[in-house]
Amino acid sequence: MSAPTPSLDAIAAAPELARELPREQIVQFQLRALAVAMACGAVLLGEPSIEADAGDVTLTTDAAAALLGISTSTLRHGASTTYKGLRIENGTRKLGWSKRRLERFMKRR
């Protein structure tokens, strides 16, 4: 019979417990801890909750431009002005677009 799995709190208090875990379980703990860190960071930054965007789809610039009926060049040039609210910040230079926000934007047009 295997030893009981420690909790995230137990591992945080005694990091040496992680050495006894299988690699798969370590990855799962790391992903859960990262999700907690991201949720806390969003609260501290005053961002809307992650659940608020649950079910939303991130579109590429090509797909978003097609949905809006404009060229990709127009969308890219307006990414920091006209279409800024439609963008999803992803921590990279690559642009991502919220399908839900795009649909709301098109209804208002």
Whether residues 20 and 44 fall in one domain? yes
Domain count, the chain: 2
Query: pLDDT digit string (tens) for 50-103?
Result: 544 567 889 999 999 999 999 999 999 999 999 999 998 877 888 999 999 999
Whether residues 39 and 59 fall in one domain? no
- Residue 3 domain flag: no
- Residue 94 domain flag: yes
- Residue 26 domain flag: yes
CA dihedral 80, 104, 56, 37 (to 10 degrees): 50
Whether residues 69 and 81 fall in one domain? yes
Query: pLDDT digit string (tens) for 8-53?
Result: 889 989 999 999 999 999 999 898 888 888 888 877 777 555 544 5
Distances (CA, A) of 13 to 24, 26, 47, 99: 21, 16, 29, 41
* Cβ contacts of 8 within 8 Å, gap of 6 or more: 29, 32, 33, 36
pTM for this entry: 0.50
Please give the residue range of the domain that contains residue 42: 8-51
- Residue 80 domain flag: yes
